[in-house]
Structure 1
Amino acid sequence: LVRCYHGLGDSIQFARFLPMLAARTASLTVEMQPRLIDLIAGPGGGIRFVPFIDAHPLPQSECDLEITELDFALRLTPADAAMPYLAAESGVLPHGCVGLCHGAGPWDPARSIPPHLLAPICAMAPCISLMPEATMLPVLNPDGCPFDMKATAALVGATDLVITVDTMIAHLAGAMGKPTWLLLKSDPDWRWPVGARGTPWYPSMRIYAQPSAGDWETPLAELARDLAACPALAAER
């Protein structure tokens, strides 16, 4: 039994190891956040997915693991997993479209960016919001992104680039192999290498980190310079 007791991003990040675990077990049940099951389960695979309900967790199993323990339990690294490992039917968006996500939730407000700081990006390329709320940014979907994982994944799949803070969208885009530019606070948690431009967890990801706490202007200026030089978007400007 594998339990998904942390955030959606944690479950997406470590779901890459589930097929390798399934190959070593007689049976595998994954107790997962209901919002993720349809996206991660996919066709076949020999894994039983059940929704995680706080008030009624499954009883203890003979072998009981939390999903973020899988790399340690299996003695695997991110490089041992095939990439990309998530897929979705893509929606239809203009060529060169950029997906934007500025919010990371109230439990760590230091990860989030004031949305107006992303407005210059909207002047450089057609953009959509990947936030599940209305926005004042000049994007193609001012009402925001549907609160549905498969619909969100379809939007991510239709973009040419995702620019996001450290939240579930970063893991979703990275797991789908989408070019992803991650805006990272100066003291990130364990999964992001400090001082590095990339990460072994998501080969398609590029990191733009704050040089000091609260300074989003510096990484955003660097990101804007790189975006201006991006050939995939040049035809749209």
Structure 2
Amino acid sequence: MSSTSDIALSSPLDHRLSEADQSLRAGDAETALALLSPLSDSDAVHLTRGRAFFRLARYQDAAVELEKATRPFGGHAVVALVDEAVAMRRRADLLLLFAESRKLAPHDPRLLDAQGNILMHLGRFDEAEVCLRESLKRRPNDKGTLNLLAMNLTEQGRFDEALAILDDLRQRSPGEWGPGCNMAAILNNIGRLEEAANIYRETIPLGPNEAALRLNHSIAMLKSGRMAQGWAEHEWRFGVPGHTNLPQSRLLPNITPSLNLVGKRVLVTQEEGLGDTLMYLRYIPALARTGAIVHIWGTSTLAGLCGRVEGVSIVQHGGETPEYDYHCPFISLPRAFSATPDAMGAPVPYLTAEPAKATQWKKSLRTDCNLRVGLVWAGGARPENTGAQMVDRQRSMPLSALAPLADLKGISFYSLQKDEPAQQRLDFPGPLVDFMPQCLDMDDTAALVSCLDLVVSVDTSMVHLAGGLGKPVIMMDRFNNCWRWLHGRGDSPWYPKMKIVRQTRFRDWSDVVTRVRSLLEDAVRAR
């Protein structure tokens, strides 16, 4: 059969599959099934039908189709639905699908792995461990399952067990970089920095161009205070999905005396969370002093704050990519200035509240003569982002954990909490003023914060907002803390008025709250 004939025969199938896929992305599973109905069986058709049935909550039918589609996959075809289900915020519904799939293939360890992984994402660690250990009985020493088990043990705080598994994988596969990368990342997270550095030194030669490995290495360097090297290494993140798609050839180079930016438009772009943007806005004044025209392209909730930073010429949110000479994601600004006197950016405060809004809040709060303390107990869960969700589960606490603060005298507590955790307000046994429904964006919140005396918060964007405004901050930090707070420190080089109170036991906030209470009592006495 000629190649021309092959193309003629395959084209209608490809067209129908493409139309069905577009229908699914538009949320129309019924139309997708209708488009697929006349097509002959193939792995791609079965997979697409499985996706459609899942969207319709027809889990038994989905399982049948996915079992037929499994042959060409390295894992079970159910794994192909995970990202789609997560994006739809239907992660838990995958368990219903897995249950049906296991009826059809009860001895397939790949289904146990998939189920264990989702249970871990849902925080059901004990159940996940049962699945993964059962999988290992059927497929002993499987590298993928052992990596998942190590990750699950890490989420439980059983770090030594996880490290032992990964170390064994390293010894068994000395030419692979993955186990060493995972092991070093855990060691870095729990503050065993020198051990992490040694493993990175041994592992990087095994995968010198692996972006994920080099990115993890950069985080270890930054956490140990090796800032200049860490920022340079951090540029490897561009090899990982989810970062800028603007051309690397026009990325802002390091600031040197020979670089002439006078009259050049530098497009500074939002890359990750709000906290990152608020933290790195400190570099904008130095960028403007080079003579550059600073054009910020970010999110609408930060537009007002960005526009008041010294040196900003243009603030844009949404719309088409504007003209520029160089672009620079916010997280690359420290790298650009690392060899200059502005390596730490502008001094605090570099953010300012909108004067009229701040004046209005001063009037509203003028009768409150107590120490005014803002409270934030949870970050943004971002359930559509598995990594972010798992980190948030560690950095956030229920408001009820702060109950020991409720009876403090001479303090008025103000909620600065947004989103779903704000519904926990009634779990606080004392008065908790809540003006957040009136705060429609970060600019409104900044004006409110400017009228408070102190902010007590978990590690979320609020600490960067309050810190950048020059407000005193008590940050309640998780055991395996973010790199930017370094290791073993109760202060921060980024925010001089910050005190860090870190967990001494994994996922246990009780001693943190006890120490915060003592600091608040000191603040009342000092006032």
TM-score normalised according to structure 1 size: 0.89
CA distance in 2, matches of 1:12, 1:44: 14
Residues 87 and 173 of structure 1, relative CA distance in 2, 3 Å threshold? same
The equivalent position to 2:330 in structure 1, one of 67, 73, 81, is 67
CA distance in 2, matches of 1:43, 1:7: 18
| Pairs within 5 Å for 1:134-145 | 134=423, 135-136=425-426, 137=428, 138-141=431-434
Alignment-mate amino acid for residue 328 of structure 2: L
Alignment-mate amino acid for residue 311 of structure 2: G
Structure 2 residues not aligned, in runs of 5+: 1-266, 382-388
Structure with bigger helix share is 2
Larger Rg: 2
Residues 142 and 171 of structure 1, relative CA distance in 2, 3 Å threshold? closer
Q: Contact between 1:99 and 1:161, CA under 8 Å: does it hold in 2?
A: yes
Alignment-mate amino acid for residue 189 of structure 1: C
Residues 232 and 8 of structure 1, relative CA distance in 2, 3 Å threshold? farther
The equivalent position to 1:48 in structure 2, one of 305, 309, 314, is 314
Query: Does the alignment pair 1:115 with 2:399?
Result: yes
Query: Does the alignment pair 1:81 with 2:346?
Result: yes
| Pairs within 5 Å for 1:154-233 | 154-231=447-524
CA distance in 1, matches of 2:310, 2:518: 44
Q: Contact between 2:417 and 2:436, CA under 8 Å: does it hold in 1?
A: no
Q: Percent identity?
A: 31
Partner of 2:286: 20
Higher relative contact order structure (alpha carbons within 8 Å, sequence separation ≥ 6): 1
TM-superposition CA deviations, 1:22-42 (whole Å, max 9, x none): 111442211111110112212
Structure 1 segments (4+ residues) deviating >6 Å: none
CA distance in 2, matches of 1:203, 1:27: 29
Residues 41 and 123 of structure 1, relative CA distance in 2, 3 Å threshold? same
Residues 111 and 194 of structure 1, relative CA distance in 2, 3 Å threshold? same
CA distance in 1, matches of 2:322, 2:444: 32
CA distance in 2, matches of 1:44, 1:201: 18
Structure with bigger strand share is 1
Greater shift in the superposed pair: 93-102 or 146-155? 146-155
The equivalent position to 1:127 in structure 2, one of 413, 424, 428, is 413
User: 2:464 aligns to what SS in structure 1?
Assistant: helix
Partner of 1:29: 295
CA distance in 2, matches of 1:185, 1:126: 25
Matched length? 230
CA distance in 1, matches of 2:314, 2:436: 35
Residues 232 and 16 of structure 1, relative CA distance in 2, 3 Å threshold? farther
Shift of 1:195: 1.1
User: 1:5 aligns to what SS in structure 2?
Assistant: coil
Partner of 2:380: 105
TM-superposition CA deviations, 1:68-112 (whole Å, max 9, x none): 11111022332x412111121432332311100001121222110
Alignment-mate amino acid for residue 16 of structure 1: R
Q: Contact between 2:289 and 2:311, CA under 8 Å: does it hold in 1?
A: no
CA distance in 2, matches of 1:26, 1:162: 35
RMSD of the alignment, in Å? Answer: 2.1
Shift of 1:199: 0.5
